[in-house]
Amino acid sequence: MTTCTTTSKLPPYVCIDNPACKNKHVLRELAQEVTFPLTPEVQQALSDLEAKFDSEKMIAGLAAPQIGYSYRIIIFAAPDDPVIKQFRKDLVQTMPKTIWFNPTYTPLNNEKRKDMEGCFSVEKHVGPVERYTHIAYTATIMEGTKITGEATGFLARVIQHEIDHLNGILCMDKVKEAEKIDKKKYIAERKKLLEQIHINQTC
């Protein structure tokens, strides 16, 4: 994982709990609305965000503020992947890699579910986050066209997590202190589980 001390050409992740990050205020701002046609600055942010997303193996989504751009842009995916489904039993609605500008969400009912979340902007912890299970969304896509739709389960979780970033909210803000889990340990355990799944699949 790239951190604030990266030497990569892509912008590093801004991490709220890394003392080396000087621009962590960007994670707490209301990000700027994007207008069309895209300005060269927004195009650069978009290009970096997509390259950053593509450079990660295990990633559900990223928001522009996470790499230092205070723009309302998110990129995410909920692929039809049997390995992810082992961890995310509520991955029932899938979506390929998607880029949205100025997205919003509203809950369609009061039902919520807790599930583990981690974030590239939080280095030390992961934890269970309560999210709405069914939301309506609005967004603008690449051509400037406005879209609306509904999302459920894991897809709805990812969308809520990423849109929260545009409003200065981090998933760990929603995790009780006692429920925070060491990120390194959690990732190591998940790797073991993934290896186990791989063995089962190839046997």
Catalytic residue list: 162
Structure token digits, residue 108: 């369609």
Residues 111-140 that bind Zn ion (CB under 5 A): 119
Closest to Zn ion by CB, 3 vs 38, is 3
Q: Among candidates 130, 131, 127, 156, which has minimal Cα distance to 60?
A: 156
Neighbours of 184 (CB within 10 A): 12
CB 108 within 8 A of CB 160: no
Closest to Zn ion by CB, 140 vs 160, is 160
Instruction: Tell me how far, at minimum, the Cβ of 120 lies from Zn ion, in Å.
Output: 6
Q: Which long-range contacts (CB under 8 A, 24 or more apart) does 149-155 make?
A: 150/108, 151/93, 151/95, 151/105, 152/90, 152/92, 152/93, 153/88, 153/90, 153/91, 153/92, 153/93, 154/78, 154/88, 154/90, 154/91, 154/92, 154/93, 154/115, 155/78, 155/91, 155/93, 155/94, 155/95
Instruction: Tell me how far, at minimum, the Cβ of 66 lies from Zn ion, in Å.
Output: 6
Closest to Zn ion by CB, 58 vs 192, is 58
The answer to the question of residue 26 lying near Zn ion (CB under 5 A) is: no
144 to 183: interface string for Zn ion, x by CB under 5 A? ----------------------------------------
Instruction: Tell me how far, at minimum, the Cβ of 52 lies from Zn ion, in Å.
Output: 12
Instruction: Tell me how far, at minimum, the Cβ of 161 lies from Zn ion, in Å.
Output: 6
Closest to Zn ion by CB, 182 vs 195, is 182
Residues near Zn ion (CB under 5 A) are 119
